[in-house]
């Protein structure tokens, strides 16, 4: 799959795999990828607009550079190498689509492939930092409390 060099064959392969067109707030993916940052800022929510208007600092720009490098070094039609990061507050921009990011959740790095639907969201939304509670049977401490209550009610 990686040895396809003919552009016509690659275009046919891409066309054959296309199921539905993705659009972010009414703009198709191809236009979104070609869009400059100022136009993209107008599309995102207010919190993200404020963040981008204040400028991306050194660490988020470093992450984007690493993602570019990983994409460039990846063979055609293959996933790029995983880029690990602690930047859970990074907003996903169209340039990151197709990259694979290892997002730290406080214990391990969860590998996440960035898809077009993730545009405008934070990286933290895709790497849960806690184990959701499953309310099952009560533990030992609540059982003891229940027994104490039974003894108190029957003794009086």
38 located within any domain: yes
142 located within any domain: no
> Which CATH number does the domain housing residue 104 bear?
3.30.860.10
75 located within any domain: yes
Average per-residue pLDDT for the chain: 84
Q: For the segment 41-58, what is each residue's pLDDT rounded down to a tens digit?
A: 888 889 989 998 888 889
78 located within any domain: yes
In which band, very low, low, confident or very high, does the pLDDT at 144 lie, cut at 50, 70 and 90? confident
Q: What is the pLDDT of residue 41?
A: 87
- Check pLDDT > 70 for residue 143: no
In which band, very low, low, confident or very high, does the pLDDT at 77 lie, cut at 50, 70 and 90? confident
Q: What is the pLDDT of residue 3?
A: 56
141 located within any domain: no
18 located within any domain: yes
Instruction: To the nearest 10°, report the CA torsion of 80, 87, 103, 69.
Output: 10
Task: Supply the range of the domain harboring residue 71.
Answer: 11-125
87 located within any domain: yes
Q: What is the pTM of this model?
A: 0.70
Q: What is the pLDDT of residue 17?
A: 64
114 located within any domain: yes
For the chain, how many structural domains are there in total? Answer: 1
CB under 8 Å to 17, separation ≥6 — which residues? none
In three state form, how does the secondary structure of 79-105 look?
CCCEEEECCCCCECCHHHCCCEEEEEC
């Amino acid at each position: 799959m990686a040895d396809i060099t003919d552009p016509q064959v690659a275009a046919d392969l891409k066309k054959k795999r296309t199921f539905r067109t993705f659009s972010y707030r009414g703009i198709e993916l191809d236009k979104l990828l070609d869009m400059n940052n100022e136009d993209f800022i107008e599309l995102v929510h207010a919190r993200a607009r404020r963040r981008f208007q204040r400028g991306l600092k050194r660490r988020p720009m470093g992450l984007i550079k690493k993602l570019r490098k990983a994409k460039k070094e990846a063979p055609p039609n293959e996933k790029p190498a995983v880029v690990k990061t602690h930047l859970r507050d990074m907003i996903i921009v169209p340039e990151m689509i197709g990259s694979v990011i290892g997002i730290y959740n406080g214990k391990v790095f969860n590998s996440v492939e960035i898809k077009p639907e993730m545009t405008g969201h934070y990286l933290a939304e895709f790497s849960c930092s806690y184990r959701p509670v499953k309310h099952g049977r009560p533990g030992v401490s609540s059982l003891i409390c229940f027994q104490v209550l039974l003894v108190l009610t029957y003794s009086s």
